[in-house]
């Protein structure tokens, strides 16, 4: 991998997930770059740890591994974020080349054109009458974009009262109870379609669908990537199994994954007798 390819991946991880452990980052990057060795990634991470990158930070952990995360995070933020994320899967595009699209802050606007149009129409109708249409539209777009950034980057859940206070601070007036109910419906759609770091880049709707279609550990071919890493010697089989046993997941699902990994012992024996 080239330096700029490492950088692009790290930047995406920090933006979309908030933070990611280096071992998990390696498994994802291996899907894009199958020949990537873990030692090469760690050499690159050490260099970036020493130089302090501009768009993210590399934090060293107590076991001499790394966390790639947003620039302003402290250890307390990381602990809180990882606790909220739990064992949720990571969202990332199937192609490395598509990472650039998601690094563009406008991707939400592009993906949700009809939703944005409805939200903007509501805001324009509820901004002060002394503003002309152009001013209202410009103000409405700024409000929507700001709300999107707040929702995406917030570690903790945003309370609806905070949103209402923010809108009223920006001169949005709720005239009747019907107005509030209409806003709530629009806002809920807005939330459901916003990628958040607390969901590791998934929108709430996507995550719900993903969990229905992919129960347990069947997320993003991580098992195959993990097996490849074990075959290469980058990850120890017994360490991987111990880590899976400690995950908060149903026992039957953990047993299924461990059974899959145990097949590598048979592969190893076959190699010795070849």
Element (DSSP H or E) covering residue 69: strand 66-69
- The pLDDT of residue 273 is 29
Contact 16, 224 (CB under 8 A): no
Q: 69: which strand partners? A: 19, 57
Number of C-beta neighbours around residue 217 at 10 A: 18
Q: Which two tokens stand for residue 66?
A: 């790394």
- CA-based torsion, 180, 184, 185, 189: positive or negative: positive
User: Cα–Cα distance between 220 and 222 in angstroms, integer?
Assistant: 5
Q: If we measure between CA atoms, which residue out of 37, 139, 31, 152 comes closest to residue 93?
A: 31
- The pLDDT of residue 64 is 83
Contact 119, 165 (CB under 8 A): no
3-state helix, strand, coil in the chain (%, to 5): 65, 5, 30
- The pLDDT of residue 102 is 83
Q: What is the pLDDT of residues 103-112, one digit of tens each?
A: 776 666 667 8
Question: Rounded to 5 degrees, what angle do the CA atoms 108, 102, 210 make?
Answer: 80
Q: Would you call 14 helix, strand, or coil by DSSP?
A: helix
Residue 249, class by beta-carbon neighbours within 10 Å (0-12 exposed, 13-18 middle, 19+ buried)? middle
Q: If we measure between CA atoms, which residue out of 113, 198, 195 comes closest to residue 148?
A: 195
Contact 68, 197 (CB under 8 A): no
Q: What is the pLDDT of residues 150-183, one digit of tens each?
A: 999 998 878 888 898 999 999 999 888 888 889 9
Q: 57: which strand partners? A: 69
- The pLDDT of residue 56 is 94
* pLDDT under 50: residue ranges of the chain: 218-220, 268-274
- The pLDDT of residue 70 is 95
User: Cα–Cα distance between 153 and 162 in angstroms, integer?
Assistant: 15
- The pLDDT of residue 270 is 38
- The pLDDT of residue 225 is 65
């Amino acid at each position: 991998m080239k330096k700029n390819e490492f950088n692009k991946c790290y930047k995406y991880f920090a933006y979309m997930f908030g933070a990611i452990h280096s071992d998990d980052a390696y498994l994802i990057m291996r899907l894009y770059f199958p020949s990537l060795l873990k030692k090469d990634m760690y050499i690159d991470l050490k260099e970036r740890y020493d130089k302090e990158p501009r768009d993210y930070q590399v934090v060293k952990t107590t076991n001499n591994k790394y966390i790639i995360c947003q620039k302003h995070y402290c250890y307390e933020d990381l602990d809180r974020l990882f606790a909220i994320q739990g064992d949720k899967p990571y969202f990332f595009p199937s192609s490395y080349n598509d990472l650039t699209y998601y690094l563009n802050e406008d991707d939400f606007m592009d993906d949700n054109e009809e939703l944005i149009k409805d939200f903007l129409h509501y805001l324009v109708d509820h901004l002060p009458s002394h503003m002309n249409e152009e001013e209202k539209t410009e103000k409405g777009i700024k409000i929507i974009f700001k709300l999107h950034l707040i929702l995406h980057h917030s570690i903790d859940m945003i309370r609806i009262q905070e949103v209402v206070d923010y809108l009223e601070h920006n001169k949005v007036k709720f005239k009747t109870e019907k107005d509030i109910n209409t806003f709530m419906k629009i806002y809920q759609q807005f939330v459901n379609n916003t990628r958040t770091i607390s969901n590791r880049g998934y929108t709430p709707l996507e995550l719900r669908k993903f969990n229905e279609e992919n129960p347990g550990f069947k997320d993003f071919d991580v098992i195959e990537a993990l097996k490849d890493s074990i075959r290469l010697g980058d990850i120890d089989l017994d360490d991987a199994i111990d880590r899976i046993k400690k995950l908060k997941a149903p026992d039957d699902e953990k047993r299924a994954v461990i059974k899959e990994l145990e097949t590598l012992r048979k592969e190893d024996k076959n190699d010795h007798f070849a």
